[in-house]
Structure 1
Amino acid sequence: MGAPPGPWASGRFDVEGHRGAKGLVVENTLASFAAAFDAGATGVELDVRLTADGQVVVWHDAVLLPEKCLATGPDVVGARLEELTLEQLRTVDVGSQTLAGYPDQRPSPGARISTLDEVLAHGRERAPDVWWTIELKVDPLHEGESAGRRQLLEGVLAGVHEAGVERQCFVHSFDWTVLELSAQLAPDVARSALVEPSRTWVPGSPFTGSVQVDGSHDDVCAGAAAVGAQVISPQHALVDAAFVERAHGLGLAVLPWTVNDPERMSELLAAGVDGLVSDYPDRAVALSSPVGS
């Protein structure tokens, strides 16, 4: 069976910067993505959500959190992102505050939430060969998010088409219904199934799309293949050599998240994963690069 689409198809190990390079620069800012490119990442992972006026923006959290967001106009910190327009979001400084859990994280003073189009344009200029792992933040249990699923996906697909990265990106989600819908709307765009322990592959899970966990599929790898994913992206604690062998046998690449400890990175490399997502892409690049390169 040939290699599934992705940076690994050419034989290279895929190092993906998480939310840009969260461990190096405040997450999901243009400066954070630049830090990932400068570190030698072959891919970047980012999160997208839909604003009240239908814009696709790059941000992880459903709510504007005070530890990440500073109001510079009317105070919208604490509001749900989907209830705010892009113009309202642009008043929020998301780059000046660093997180205590990331002592090496640098600020990007004055940074604003970017649109997907802006991030892709920046990346195409700075690192035209990089792959884009675009996580659509959809909670199937939240009425507003699930109702906007198709609109968000259509916005993402339009953005990657406009940027010319349709063959250089993954539609990536914990909500596997997104993947099934993407397979219908854009079958040539690769899809990645996110897996969270004790949440994804459990009986009655709302996250597995048309697949029933206690039904005809043996395990999470079979379920991901059944919804049309080419990549399975589990929390890294779920991954060992047997998991990789099972996934590869079903034609799935394995891209664990979020791996920051160099010892664990080495274990996953030895297990045969195709890549990994890290807040510190510089660490992963150093470990995965051939000696003397």
Structure 2
Amino acid sequence: MPMTENIGVRVDLFKRTVMPAPPTTVDDDGSYMYEKIAFCYIYPLDVTESSDGLCRMPITSRTGKLVARIKAQYFIARPYAGSEPQQMIKTRLARGNSKAWQLKNGGLDIGHRGAGSARRTDRSEKVLENTVDSFNYAFKKGADMVELDVQISKDKVPVVYHDFNVNIVLQKKDRNIETYPVNIKDLTFDQLQMLRTNPVRHDGDSKPAYEFDEDEGQQPHNQPFASFKSVLNHVEPQCGFNVEIKYPQKKINGQWEAEKSLDLNEYVDLVLQDLCNHAGDRNIIISSFHPELCSLVKLKQDRYPVLFLTQGLTKKWMQYENPLNHSIEMATYLALSTGLYGIAAHTEDILRDRNLIRFVKSKGLILFVWGDDLNDREVIAGLKKEGVDGAIYDKIDLYVSKEDRLPQEGQHHEQHHEQQQSVAMDVQ
């Protein structure tokens, strides 16, 4: 429903009464009589307020009696306001149809957070997820694209990191170690660079799962919290990006994933600004679990295709409050109504009902899939054969199809083990 600071909306409520059909006519449905019983005004929105919110307005009967209240969620889409906005327009016109490069016979292989989630200890490179080295490693091993996560630091720098918070370990002489979570939005980019990662075991053992050499731990492109700008500039230009923009949402239990930081429009503009200034001709798709964020990205630009991410009916994670995230069908209808390129669905839902592949494709949408169930070569190949356009999975070097693999690479198959990360910061 389009609204501005100058336009409001009047909502009229009617009661429908079924009238019997005349005996001389054949009318299986009968006829209806509509009677206006109440109305409501939704006044023009104050565009100086937050980009999203909830408006509550009283519903009044024809006699002036207050009978109910209407609640409506809204978000305000503002034009892209980054530096040199005309540059995006010029490059968009020069590029032509952005869909042409996306499609590939046999489907795309997309490296989840590069070479896989957590840190790879099964290879000599020992690359860490969401780092330049991880992205380049995955591309070298046959990935068409890499998936990466972007969010904004306290000083408004887009950084590449998955979780909304980090566990800070305060170490002070002669005192016990204290650990507490800190949101990424509450740390500046420079503060994030001071953090050092040290994987810990899932069983709670505080002993590190392995140690890095001093020189190895200082490799700048194998460290977390890289700026999005740096990633755009240092990853091989032929490597495509699936950029997931992270923004907190409310879960179905009423709790938020994290505290909101910047206004939604400004948040999106900061990411688009880095893309505008540093992406060059790189092939890029933008995605998000946040429905309004996907709509904003689509409205602000049309150079980069947008996918809506959905976790569907899985029990692995708590559902979002927004029902648009609850099923592949709902995600599909959102993509159709907002002009998105397609959806990225959780593989668990697809494996439960493969007819969903044909459902999405019948609507003319692109379908990507993601999730732990994809860490199997046969599953990947089977879903691609049925029409999936892209598979986002860990350990691209182990599961990418043989014909796409570089000739010098051997084939190995090892069990996938994720390791949780903790970060530590020395406190003087």
Tell me the distance in 1 between the aligned counterparts of 2:283 and 2:145.
9
2:208 matches 1:208: no
Higher alpha-carbon Rg: 2
2:107 matches 1:13: yes
Tell me the distance in 2 between the aligned counterparts of 1:218 and 1:198.
11
2:225 matches 1:113: yes
Alignment partner, residue 57 of structure 1: 159
Alignment partner, residue 253 of structure 1: 366
Q: For the Cα contact (< 8 Å) 1:179–1:228, is it kept in 2?
A: no
Alignment of structure 1 residues 102-141 onto 2, 5 Å: 109-110=217-218, 111-123=223-235, 126=236, 128-141=237-250
Root mean square deviation, CA, Å: 3.7
Alignment partner, residue 93 of structure 1: 196
Matching residue within 253, 256, 273 for 1:158: 273
Q: Secondary structure at the match of 2:191?
A: helix
- Structure 1: any 5+ residue segments left out of the alignment? none
TM-score after normalising by structure 2: 0.56
Alignment partner, residue 278 of structure 1: 393
Matching residue within 181, 185, 196 for 1:78: 181
Alignment partner, residue 310 of structure 2: 195
Q: For the Cα contact (< 8 Å) 2:245–2:287, is it kept in 1?
A: yes
Q: Secondary structure at the match of 1:46?
A: strand
CA 1:226 to 1:203, structure 2 compared with 1: closer, same or farther past 3 Å?
A: farther
- Structure 2: any 5+ residue segments left out of the alignment? 1-96, 121-126, 172-177, 204-209, 251-255, 408-428
Tell me the distance in 1 between the aligned counterparts of 2:140 and 2:104.
21
* Greater strand proportion: 2
Distance apart, 1:218 and its partner CA:
6.1
2:333 matches 1:230: no
Identity value in percent: 23
Q: For the Cα contact (< 8 Å) 2:368–2:391, is it kept in 1?
A: yes
Tell me the distance in 2 between the aligned counterparts of 1:9 and 1:133.
14
Tell me the distance in 1 between the aligned counterparts of 2:128 and 2:320.
36
CA 1:233 to 1:106, structure 2 compared with 1: closer, same or farther past 3 Å?
A: farther
Q: For the Cα contact (< 8 Å) 2:313–2:349, is it kept in 1?
A: no
Query: How many equivalent residue pairs?
Result: 274
Map Cα deviations across residues 102-151 of structure 1 (whole Å, 9 max, x no partner): xxx9976232410100011111xx2x222211111112324743754322
Alignment partner, residue 90 of structure 2: none
